[in-house]
Structure 1
Amino acid sequence: MSTVLVSLLVLLSFFQQSIENKPPNILFLIADDWSFPHAGIYGDELVRTPNFDRMAKEGALFLNAYTASPSCSPSRASILTGRYPHENESGGNLWPEWPAQYPTYVGLLEKAGYFTGSTRKGWGPGDFKVSGMAHNPAGKSYADFETFLKDRPVGSPFTFWFGSSDPHREYVANTGIQSGMRLEDVVVPGFFPDNDCVRNDILDYYFEIERFDRECGQLIRKLEEIGELDNTIIVITSDNGMPFPRAKANLYDFGTRMPLVIRWPQKINPGTVVNDFVNFVDFAPSFLEAAGLTPEKMSGQSLWPLLNGEKQLRNQVFLERERHANVRKGNQSYPMRGIRNHRFLYIWNPMPERDPAGNPSVHQAVGQYGDVDHSITKFLIMAMEGKVSSGMPDYFSLAFGQRPEEELYDIEKDPYQLRNLAGDSSFAKTKKEMRQALLEWMKTTGDPRFENPRSTYWDELRYTPDYQMQDIDWQKEIKDYRVKPAVGTVKEILCLPEIPADR
């Protein structure tokens, strides 16, 4: 072997060791209200997500990633602190005060020498200034990623949070269909009526997913330009589920099961597929461990041993929510606790007399049934109150009706969680075992609802916005809504005030 070749091999080995010893950057890309499985690599044949799909092929694709809570603020707080929502005190609600008594991975990395920053939606909505924070807990705000990189000290590792507002509502109606997507290609979840107006609403949601994916691609290409792609942990995910009835703000899969890919060549083999359960509380300890720090007082566990092929106890995941919007008289929460495994979902509703989607008339925020964002899908289901067709689900009750204290669903046979088996004696053993596991988790993690299921703690916490909203004229919204395809295709479609449930 020639002297020159030996020298080159030694040099390559040196550079490889330098890369491996260098603290990794972290690029965290988070959508707002995006549900699993709405990405091409998950098998959705309509929505186009080439950048998410690329990161999955070059890294790890997660099939059972779950948000800690199906609500923006508590979900993002758990990402940052590595703690479950009920452990974050005020941080367990939407629009709260930031729980500054708990450190974040961003703050800990900053102390360790990382350059930190964020753009657009970080932690929130809520008030972090009243908690003494100089900037959003997700990082100091920058106009964009490029500006952040210009300010970065030479050679400093960084962590950057890109918080999109997509696919959060409101939508510009008909953006999806006019971009070339077709109504007939939409797979409508079983808890929605299947009609053209609902399909069009889903297309508009898809349009914003695609926009988020394009922006992720722009940041990834910037990493390639500066030569930092392979030394950066790239995460693409969402905070909670799609902004539709029985999805966002609910513990059913369309509220809690999230798209997730992670790329980091040093630890993850390309094309890795993870079927084990992971929770968003796992992000913070994973990031800290990657930077050589020891996570403390965090409930999550690092993902790197799992991604290195080690066996971990990840056969189930725990879920929860408290007050989402302020939509019940008395500022009341709607508490839920849940446990999900590969076969079943068990949900405990300790205050079943309360309205899960909010009061039928506006209390303070959003409007009627205010835990559900306004949309044509919501309004059409509201129009179905008391109108149930033979052989069809009661869409109104599924979206807005009160629920029993216990719910149990067989995910394999009932993927949309429509048939509650909690009262079926043949599933009594399963229900008992899952409830016991849930209670044990609540006890171990210090959940106040273990000792006092009817605690009003989260009812009494400050709700930070001071606006007062009014009831919306949803019947007019239905009459005014139009499905307007691209010019030269099918004719304009109207939404009737009372669409038959068995269409």
Structure 2
Amino acid sequence: MNPSQTKSNRCSIVLYAILFFTLFLGYSQKSVEAKPPNIVFMIADDWSYPHAGVYGDAVVRTPTFDGLAKNGAVFENAYCAAPSCSPSRASILLGKYPHQLESAGNLWSVIPSKFTNWMRMLEDSGYHTGKSRKGWGPGDFEAGGYSNNPAGKDYEDFDAFLEVKGKDRPFAFWFGSQDPHRDYETNAGAKTGMDVNRVSVPEFLPDVSCVRNDILDYYYEVERFDRECGNILTKLEREGLLKNTLIVMTSDNGMPFPRAKANLYDYGTRMPLAMYWKGHIEGGLRIKEFVNFVDFAPTFVQAAGLPQQAEFSGNSLLPLFDTEATKAGRDMVFLERERHANVRKGNLSYPSRAVRTHEYLYIQNFEPDRWPAGDPTVHQSVGQYGDVDNSITKYLIMQGGGNPEKDTYFELAFGKRPPEELYILEKDPYNLRNEANNPKYASALNLLRKHLIGWMENTGDLRAREPQTNYWDEVLYTPNYQMENKDISAEIQAYKQLVRDGGGFKDRSCLE
């Protein structure tokens, strides 16, 4: 072999080596990128939009949520499928609307294991899965065929979950806080330095100091949820896991105040939502398209690289993070509720369905003769108007039922509602003035009615065929606590005494 051939061969070897390492490195990089992501789902219990700093709330401090929004995406129009814990969480896990989930359309229900569960899909594909604190519920999952909570095997906390994960194994973790669910520690918010005078009181609640103080106590628990989520993110970063983890932070239903939780109005169904996934979600995205929580299941399945399930009613959210992609089909969202608590004689539901667009909220109430917040008389229930959690705000409004200046709040919170409701959101962001009988909006109402009926029919809603069906009135109710007759007059007197004793309320006349 002459010197020129030797030199040529050496050059070829070098070129092949360069090519090999280039291809190898490229393949390795693709392999790293193709690794299924970890998933961390962090869900509050009774937290409403817009109570976070990134949404413009000037009082509550939510640095973790705001940080996820800054470095990922924040959603302006995210909605739970139902404004009640169990059906909302069932829809999240199973990717179907509550009316498609048999008894799981109710609170304190049974959740059937026959439906595809994204957490179980991930576990079957090799993921380490688990939860801490509140998963699906309240209800009976064992009666439905589950051996563990549908959100995963229970762990004391995130640290305990990671300890048994195994090296290089992807994981899916559900953190379910009980905050900001009631009961609250009175004055907890004020003691942290939050200013009661800066609270923005929703217009369906009386703007008096004791209501403002109640909202501060709610904020206190929102802030605690935010801190605990921050601790999880800190752990991820310390363990080097943050770079390939899809993080979701949200709530299951609205704030525990009258006309919010357990209602299809915005303060019952519109949720805070932020998502982060480094390299996949551009920082600072503000997504205005409508999202329903049935979309979480197909999102997580797609992110994990698993086959999409035809039975899911939702659609993956991942295309929303492509800033150049067309995002058709997200100009409205459908909402519903059945039975929340046992608060009507005969344990009856208050069935409603709704469609929400950027311009309108349209609601159908199928049993308008029933009390939407529960019966005014006490029977075997949690108290009068029992779908509204007991609180100083609730008691204040109940006392105002005979006061002409406060009757509006009473009717909004507890009064019966007509078969149809229509709210014009630009003029009425708090959903206070029903325009269903206004001829000016007749064409809009007819179109919304058609959209709602079409959705009900397409998703197999029993109420599309039998509007007054008693199915959800009769399915099993499984409370794990002793129900009791409850007279709230003693509690009202206790709150009055708290005010007289200087319980932190500047306006001492608000309960008189």
| The two structures share one fold, judged by TM-score above 0.5 | yes
Residue 18 of structure 1 is aligned with which of 31, 34, 45?
Answer: 31
Higher helix share: 2
Give distance in 1, aligned partners of 2:312 and 2:186. 42
- Displacement after TM superposition at 1:9 (Å): 8.8
Does residue 97 (structure 1) correspond to residue 97 (structure 2)? The answer is no
Contact kept, 8 Å, 1:97 with 1:131, in 2: the verdict is yes
Does residue 325 (structure 1) correspond to residue 338 (structure 2)? The answer is no
Contact kept, 8 Å, 1:174 with 1:484, in 2: the verdict is no
Distance change (3 Å), C-alpha of 1:230 and 1:475:
same
Distance change (3 Å), C-alpha of 1:491 and 1:307:
closer
| Unmatched segments (≥5 aa) in structure 1 | 499-503
Does residue 407 (structure 1) correspond to residue 425 (structure 2)? The answer is no
Give distance in 2, aligned partners of 1:208 and 1:65. 21
Indicate the SS of the match to 1:482.
Answer: helix
Higher deviation after alignment, 232-241 or 294-303: 294-303
Indicate the SS of the match to 1:91.
Answer: helix
| Unmatched segments (≥5 aa) in structure 2 | 1-14
Determine the structure 2 residue equivalent to 1:208.
221
Give distance in 2, aligned partners of 1:371 and 1:261. 28
Q: Deviations over 1:469-494 (max 9, x none)?
A: 222224314313339999xxx88653
Give the alignment's TM-score, normalised by structure 1.
0.94
Residue 479 of structure 1 is aligned with which of 473, 496, 504?
Answer: 496
Contact kept, 8 Å, 2:249 with 2:274, in 1: the verdict is yes
Residue 402 of structure 2 is aligned with which of 386, 389, 406?
Answer: 386
Give distance in 2, aligned partners of 1:393 and 1:261. 38
Indicate the SS of the match to 2:294.
Answer: helix
Contact kept, 8 Å, 2:43 with 2:249, in 1: the verdict is yes
Give distance in 2, aligned partners of 1:418 and 1:321. 19
- Displacement after TM superposition at 1:306 (Å): 1.9
Distance change (3 Å), C-alpha of 1:226 and 1:430:
same
Determine the structure 2 residue equivalent to 1:371.
387
Higher deviation after alignment, 172-181 or 289-298: 289-298
Give distance in 2, aligned partners of 1:446 and 1:265. 38
Q: Deviations over 1:298-353 (max 9, x none)?
A: 00001111221322310000000000001001110000100000010000001000
Give distance in 2, aligned partners of 1:323 and 1:306. 33
Residue 416 of structure 1 is aligned with which of 430, 433, 437?
Answer: 430
Give distance in 2, aligned partners of 1:98 and 1:247. 25
- Displacement after TM superposition at 1:131 (Å): 1.8
Residue 132 of structure 2 is aligned with which of 97, 101, 119?
Answer: 119
Indicate the SS of the match to 2:175.
Answer: strand
Contact kept, 8 Å, 1:24 with 1:231, in 2: the verdict is yes
Determine the structure 2 residue equivalent to 1:501.
none
Q: Deviations over 1:217-269 (max 9, x none)?
A: 00001110111102010000000000000000000000000000010123211
Contact kept, 8 Å, 1:82 with 1:299, in 2: the verdict is yes
Indicate the SS of the match to 2:166.
Answer: coil
Give distance in 2, aligned partners of 1:491 and 1:319. 37
Which residue type is aligned with residue 338 of structure 2? E
Distance change (3 Å), C-alpha of 1:7 and 1:317:
same
Residue 290 of structure 1 is aligned with which of 295, 303, 306?
Answer: 303
**Count, aligned residues:** 492
Indicate the SS of the match to 2:120.
Answer: helix
Indicate the SS of the match to 1:233.
Answer: strand
Q: Deviations over 1:70-128 (max 9, x none)?
A: 00000000000000000011110000011212121001111111110001000000001
Q: Give the share of equivalent positions with the same residue, in percent.
A: 56
CA RMSD of aligned residues (A): 2.2
**Which aligned pairs between 1:202-241 and structure 2 lie closer than 5 A?**
202-241=215-254
Residue 184 of structure 1 is aligned with which of 197, 204, 210?
Answer: 197
Contact kept, 8 Å, 2:499 with 2:505, in 1: the verdict is no
**Which aligned pairs between 1:300-315 and structure 2 lie closer than 5 A?**
300-309=314-323, 310=325, 311-315=327-331
Higher deviation after alignment, 316-325 or 466-475: 466-475
Give distance in 1, aligned partners of 2:432 and 2:505. 34
Residue 268 of structure 1 is aligned with which of 271, 276, 281?
Answer: 281
Does residue 88 (structure 1) correspond to residue 111 (structure 2)? The answer is no
Give distance in 2, aligned partners of 1:314 and 1:7. 46
Does residue 353 (structure 1) correspond to residue 369 (structure 2)? The answer is yes
Higher deviation after alignment, 364-373 or 182-191: 364-373
Which residue type is aligned with residue 364 of structure 1? Q
Larger Rg over CA atoms? 2
Determine the structure 1 residue equivalent to 2:474.
460
Determine the structure 2 residue equivalent to 1:469.
484
Contact kept, 8 Å, 2:106 with 2:338, in 1: the verdict is yes
Residue 134 of structure 1 is aligned with which of 144, 147, 155?
Answer: 147
Indicate the SS of the match to 1:168.
Answer: coil
Indicate the SS of the match to 1:458.
Answer: helix
Give the alignment's TM-score, normalised by structure 2.
0.92
Give distance in 2, aligned partners of 1:424 and 1:316. 22
